[in-house]
């Protein structure tokens, strides 16, 4: 097996058939449907906002500050908080579906 990072391909030479060379591109192919972004709300007044805590360190503090700032500017806003298990790859946004007008999702490292 020969790795060439410059062209990002792996060349595998078969031991059972020495004249056979198979090129494999490890990048794969992704076919994604293009969608437009959600329409921006005119105002948060009277709206419900969802907060997704991904479980990463300090995300809870960050979201609490954002929620506090939103409540200061829009006293009547309702909030819904969900917390994702830090180790889980399971989506959680469905828990806010139909309950909120907008979502704040804190993620990153």
Q: What is the residue whose two structure tokens read 């500050």?
A: 65
Average pLDDT, stretch 73-85? 91
Give which of 59, 38, 68, 65 is closest to 106, Cα–Cα: 59
**What are the pLDDT digits (tens) for 91-109?**
788 889 999 999 998 776 6
Average pLDDT, the chain: 80
How do strand 9-13 and strand 2-4 relate by DSSP bridges?
antiparallel
70 has pLDDT over 90 = yes
Domain residue spans of the chain: 48-106
pLDDT of amino acid 47: 95
**What are the pLDDT digits (tens) for 9-44?**
555 555 666 667 777 777 777 788 888 988 899 999
66 has pLDDT over 70 = yes
The answer to whether 82 touches 50, Cβ cutoff 8 Å, is yes
Reduced to 3 states, what is the DSSP secondary structure of residue 73? Answer: helix
pLDDT of amino acid 94: 87
8 has pLDDT over 70 = no
pLDDT of amino acid 17: 63
Distance, C-alpha 48 to centroid of its chain: 21
Give which of 5, 42, 8, 43 is closest to 25, Cα–Cα: 8
pLDDT of amino acid 106: 78
């Amino acid at each position: 097996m020969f790795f060439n990072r410059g062209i990002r391909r792996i060349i595998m030479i078969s031991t059972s058939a020495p004249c056979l060379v198979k090129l494999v591109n490890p990048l794969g192919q992704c076919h994604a449907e293009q969608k437009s972004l959600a329409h921006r709300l005119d105002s948060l007044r009277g709206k419900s906002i969802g907060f997704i805590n991904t479980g990463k360190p300090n995300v809870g503090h960050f979201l609490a500050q954002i929620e506090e700032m939103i409540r200061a500017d829009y006293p009547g806003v309702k909030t819904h908080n969900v917390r994702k298990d830090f180790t889980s790859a399971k989506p959680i946004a469905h828990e806010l579906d139909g309950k909120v007008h907008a979502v704040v999702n804190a993620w990153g490292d």
